[in-house]
Structure 1
């Protein structure tokens, strides 16, 4: 019994070292074995032994960088194994979808995109089910998880409500390509925040807040590289905090939602126009017109002030090091920077104003929800259970 326990403990320690190096290779594409050894406090011999194990398991490879003409031989970089694990990432937006097959290190192997075939969820899921099934047919057991970013409120793998799509209670189970393949899902703004914290504008911070404006406001708080989703996965619905006009009723059922003060609906209302059927497109048109039209400029300025005021309130409550912005939020800070920053500063508690958390535009742009979905999937793949599952499949 003691021998069995000792053997199990030894296997656990070996797998922990292998996982640590594998996670480092995923988080730092093109890092060398020596880089990983220094970062993880490993001896050169241990790093060599662990790397050999990971190669044998078809998890990583080492690729020599191109010659630069300098003296010496460049160290090979840790890269994804050409027959290693993959994840399928899916992004469902208000108007269209994106898919990607992604390898360790975050490189996209395959990608596709398109517009929704209609307003109902069934045909959209049919299109996406075909994409995930095709990826599984090409790669079989290498597909370790499917992860979906959705422009809506999620609970598990169910879309509780996606007001911009007019979808309610939609189960994403059809996107699971095979029994036993893990299926994950999350709000697109939360996934975008995860992406910016891992590979974008907030990389290197311990606590960051992400805000995105599309149809309303969404986002997420990231702590130590992990998203704070809440008890049921529905956290981050910042747009439904009462930072707006209490006389206005939101499609979610609440009154005074911040959503209604920052997007195309707010800009159209400021111009005396009816509520647009497509708030995202309406906002783009008004922001473009703001370059020459004073009324449009005023409408954009009002939305920017509403965004800045709410961002300041959330900074007071959550204490991030940095606030990353994506979607229309980046266009608001480009078009009306004075209004946004003044409102942000005015909303901050006095002690924060001398050195406020920076407002940083997205470094990943529209791809951020898809990148975040892939990162969420790799969190599962690069777990103890995921490592053990892959190791069993490769034996």
Structure 2
């Protein structure tokens, strides 16, 4: 009979085994296509330990290896990839105009399998269409699907949508997106998840503290610290667009007066031009960028909007002290189209001590796929735990 001490040693050995496996899989997420030798060097593993861990991961259909290209006389190594029969997560992105459904393996790179424009924005219809796509993905891949993650253009609190000014929703139940009782559903704000992805894989990778700001329908974003978004007490943080930085006479669809949202997206451009409020501010703003090349009035309107954006961004920099700022959605092309107005407003709004050395402001690298990357990362964070790997191993033959 094993002694209690023997039992403790076996638990520690099991946990150590999973810790090594998780460390290797995390490297796979950070650097897809890395060689086994590179991973071993970064993790401080001996050749024997790296060989043992990767063999175990192959046995559990978590990792595959292919020969690496020869680079000299050294011992041949292999390139690490997700196993073709390994775990998957489903990531969905519900935006104002459309939705997308993607599948990601353990490298976290989402591959879109279905995408549709909304027939209308009535919640039951949108959720029903997305849920059907998620079910089809699960039917295609079966038990390999370990989690579903949804990025939504909405305020998310305690994992639930409580309001969406972009979609015209109040509280909406996303539970139908879970294709099976055994498959967990995770929900996040789209801008928050895009910022998290930029902090891990994009323009802010390696920065200790990064600020991500995006303009779609209004302004969203997040502060990312050590690769993780600061979501607030209940997960509803990062609603930058609802700071009272706009016209206090204008009421936002969220119910508040003077929201920054109304000063910086396509609605603001239309207002400066004396045109009706657009049904789709995002597409309207993109069209305005094209019109600006031949229409001075549009160019002037974009300048006003870029100034409002620069002033607000300066306030966020003063308050949050990021090491780097990334811009997504309409924010980056707006900055480029009206660089003088943006730069002047940003500099004027910064505290004096910040002006000699402001944080770099960079274009987001992941573009329109940032929210999908972030949703996949959130799902994999749930799957790639000791408990998650244990559950996967227990289900293998």
Give the structure-2-normalised TM-score. 0.95
Which residue, 28, 31, 36 being the options, matches 2:34?
31
| Aligned-residue offset at 1:336 | 0.7
Which structure 1 segments of 5+ residues have no match?
none
Check if 1:123 corresponds to 2:117: no
> How far apart are residue 97 of structure 1 and its match?
0.7
- Give 1:1-395 correspondences, 5 Å limit: 1-65=4-68, 75-109=77-111, 111-394=113-396
Tell me the SS of whatever aligns to 1:366. Answer: helix
C-alpha spacing 1:109/1:250, structure 2 compared with 1 (3 Å): closer
C-alpha separation in 2, matches of 1:203 and 1:156: 27
Deviation sequence 1:219-277 (CA, Å, 0-9, x none): 01111111111121111100001111222211111111111110111111112223222
Where 2:313 maps in the other structure, the secondary structure is: helix
DSSP 3-state at the match of 2:392: helix
- Partner Cα distance (1:73, 1:290) in 2: 58
Instruction: Output the CA distance in 2 between the equivalents of 1:393 and 1:255.
Output: 53
Structure 2 gaps, min length 5: none
Is contact 2:108-2:380 (8 Å) kept? no
Judge conservation of contact 1:301–1:340 (CA < 8 Å) in 2. yes
Contact 1:157 1:183 in 2 (8 A): no
Do the aligned residues in 2 keep the contact of 1:157 with 1:172 (CA within 8 Å)?
no
Local SS of the residue matching 1:287:
helix
1:71 Cα deviation from its structure 2 partner: 7.0
Distance 2:60 2:161 in 1: 37
* Number of corresponding residues: 394
SS at match of 1:168: coil
Q: Secondary structure at the match of 1:317?
A: helix
Query: In the alignment, is the contact (CA less than 8 A) between 1:148 and 1:186 conserved in 2?
Result: yes
- C-alpha separation between the residues in 2 aligned to 1:310 and 1:280? 19
**Contact 2:97–2:280 (Cα < 8 Å) also in 1:** no
- Kindly indicate whether the alpha-carbon contact (under 8 Å) linking 2:266 and 2:281 is maintained by their aligned counterparts in 1: yes
The answer on whether the counterparts of 1:88 and 1:99 sit within 8 Å (CA) in structure 2 is yes
CA-to-aligned-CA distance 1:145-171 (integer Å, 9 cap, x gap): 100111111124432111121111111
CA contact (8 A) 2:110 2:373 kept: no
Inter-partner Cα distance in structure 2 for 1:363 and 1:345:
24
1:73 CA drift (Å): 7.4
Secondary structure of the structure 2 residue equivalent to 1:52: helix
- Per-residue deviation, residues 344-369 of structure 1 (Å, max 9, x unmatched): 12211112111211111121111111
For normalisation by structure 1, the TM-score amounts to 0.96
CA contact (8 A) 1:157 1:171 kept: no
CA–CA separation in structure 2 for the residues paired with 1:75 and 1:17:
19
Q: Is the 8 A contact 2:217 2:281 kept in 1?
A: yes
CA RMSD of aligned residues (A): 1.7
CA contact (8 A) 2:242 2:260 kept: yes
Q: Measure the CA separation in 2 of the matches of 1:283 and 1:26.
A: 34
